Amino acid sequence: KKVILTCAQPTGQLHLGNYFGALRNWASMIDDYECFFGIVDQHAITLPYVPAELRQATYRNLALYIACGLDPSKCHLFCQSHIIGHTELAWVLGCLCPIGQLERMTQFKDKSQREDSGFIGAGLLNYPVLMAADILLYNADRVPVGEDQKQHVELCRDLAIKFNNTYSETFRVPEVYIPKTGARIKSLQDPLKKMSKSDANQSGCVYLLDSPKTIRKKIRSAVTDSGSEVRAGKDKPGITNLLTIFSSATGRSVEDLEKQFEGSQYGPFKDAVADAVINALEPIQAKYEEIHNDKAYLDSVFKQGAEVAQKRAYKMISKVYRKAGFAPRT
């Protein structure tokens, strides 16, 4: 079976962008591929954070992964810091990575500009190297991500090729896989920006655990465009985003939805979008409720994932260290 690997950071809460752009597609792959899904806590410390919240978010995300359909008996769910190998490989790869390439990463530029404490740690710059290590450690064939991570996966490919050329053929060069719809869900308050956990305006972001009432409120107050037609288009970023969300939540095409809402006002359309989102999230929230307090169960899932992941990681690190010329451990 081909290997899939992808991860999400346990910072803040998972939102609709993470679900439509990521988790839902991951769940559709678990029968056909060997899948590794990570909760990357080491990535989450690249910006200022609160340790207790990180720990809590790690468990919450695990429960949400499972609730979104990532059945732990069919895939490997792991916590990055539980596996020895991610940072080790990142070090070796980092020594091959030109600083300039890291400085040019769009996300680094965005995040370092936004960081108002004025402190930018080396971790934030090195973050894409750690991400490359996450992928290469398991020799992933394919990396499903939303549009915003594409550049990082390309860097990973460059580093894999560079390592293979510098030492010898070691890593598979992974392919990026971007879903057709939902790859770029926008903020409800600023449809030119992506929906993001780090957005200062929380009402632009629908979290997977928001109550139906909150979801309706956020969608009703979504920024819309001039005119009153319900149709997608460059001149209508707000409505286009709502149509994308509607389409992602129901599986219906945007054209089909445009037809249904021809002549309709924004109000009833938004209510229908809210209904669709509430319906799509209902089973996830129910499953989450059932498991999220069962710490022993969640720990056992992490343990099971770590056993498989650690074996793979150890094998890869041993190979990499040998090629790098490190003396063997005796």
Please report, as ranges, the residues that interact with ligand TYM according to CB under 6 A. Answer: 5-9, 17-18, 21-22, 40, 43, 131, 134-135, 143, 145-146, 148-149, 152, 183-185, 194-195
Tell me which amino acid residue 188 is. Answer: L
Catalytic residue among 186, 194, 218, 236: 194
Q: How far is the CB of 62 from ligand TYM (least distance, A)?
A: 14
Does the annotation mark 111 as catalytic? yes
Instruction: Write down the least CB distance from residue 38 to ligand TYM, Å.
Output: 6
The answer on whether 317 is annotated among ligand-binding residues is no
- Return the number of the residue (5 or 239) whose C-beta is nearest ligand TYM: 5
To the question of whether residue 112 is assigned a binding role by annotation, the answer is no
CB of 320 to ligand TYM, least distance (A): 17
Active site residue 323: no
147 annotated binding-site participant: yes
**DSSP per-residue string spanning 259-305:** HHTTT--HHHHHHHHHHHHHHHHHHHHHHHHHHTT-HHHHHHHHHHH
Q: Which residue is nearest to ligand TYM (CB)?
A: 21
Residue with token string 């009153």: 228
- Burial string for 61-87 (b: 16+ CB within 10 Å, else e) reads bbbbbbbbbbebeebbbbbbbbbebbb
Q: Does residue 73 have a known ligand-binding role? A: no
Nearer to ligand TYM, 8 or 243 (CB): 8
- Residue 180 annotated in active site: no
Q: Does 150 show up as a binding residue in the annotation?
A: no
Q: How far is the CB of 201 from ligand TYM (least distance, A)?
A: 14
Question: By C-alpha distance, which of 129, 151, 138, 134 is closest to 2?
Answer: 138
| Residue closer to ligand TYM (CB basis): 135 or 301 | 135
The neighbour count for residue 109, using CB atoms within 10 Å, is 11
Measured from the CB atom, the residue of 145 and 316 that comes closer to ligand TYM is: 145
User: Which of 136/298 has CB closer to ligand TYM?
Assistant: 136
Long-range pairs for 277-280 at CB < 8 Å and ≥24 separation? 277/16, 277/206, 277/215, 277/219, 277/245, 277/249, 278/212, 278/215, 278/216, 279/249, 280/249, 280/250
| Catalytic hit among 111, 162, 315, 323 | 111
Nearest alpha carbon to residue 102 among 145, 143, 156: 156
CB 43 → ligand TYM: shortest distance, Å?
Answer: 5
- Name the catalytic one among 1, 109, 197, 319: 197
Question: Which residues have a catalytic role annotated?
Answer: 111, 194, 197
Q: Which residues are annotated as a binding site for ATP?
A: 9-11, 17-18, 146-148, 185, 194-198
Q: Which residues are annotated as a binding site for L-tryptophan?
A: 134
